[in-house]
């Protein structure tokens, strides 16, 4: 039987663990987990990403491809990275044995996400949509 001090120590340890997590990071993780669940429910898929036994890469690829805000607009390219990191944190909290960011079996979904981010940048989405672009050597020569 656990002593009263052991129970108090365990509660205090849990409290310290919770304090170590940034509040905004927690909110981000919760937000993106819910975005995935909503998308999965709309497609009659398993809403808990950690419960998938197979086809996780394919499911993530489809999720990344279809991802839009509720008003239909695309997310900013930087948001896509935040989303991926949030889903990774969520999976790690559920003791998921793989990394959707680093493991080779998620290469296809990472390519889909990278491609989407690049495409969004090309159409002017992102933090610096009107930033100047470097001139090519040919363009520089024409100016001289």
Q: Is pLDDT of 63 > 70?
A: yes
Torsion 48-116-66-104 (CA) sign: negative
pLDDT digits (tens, 9 = 90+) for 70-116: 999 999 999 999 999 999 999 999 999 999 999 999 999 999 999 99
In terms of pTM, does the model score above 0.75? no
Q: Measure the CA–CA gap between 93 and 97, rounded to whole angstroms.
A: 10
**By three-state DSSP, how is residue 78 classified?**
helix
CB atoms within 10 A of CB 37: 15
């Amino acid at each position: 039987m656990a002593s009263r001090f052991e129970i108090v120590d365990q509660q205090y340890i849990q409290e310290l663990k919770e304090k170590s997590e940034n509040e905004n990071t927690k909110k981000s993780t919760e937000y993106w987990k819910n975005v995935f669940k909503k998308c999965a429910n709309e497609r009659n898929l398993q809403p808990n990403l950690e419960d998938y036994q197979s086809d996780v890469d394919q499911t993530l690829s489809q999720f990344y491809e279809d991802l839009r805000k509720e008003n239909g607009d695309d997310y900013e390219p930087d948001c896509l990275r935040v989303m991926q990191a949030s889903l990774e944190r969520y999976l790690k909290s559920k003791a998921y044995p793989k990394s959707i960011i680093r493991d080779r079996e998620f290469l296809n979904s990472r390519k889909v996400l990278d491609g989407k981010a690049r495409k969004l940048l090309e159409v002017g989405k992102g933090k610096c949509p009107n930033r100047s672009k470097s001139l090519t050597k040919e363009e520089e020569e024409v100016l001289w």
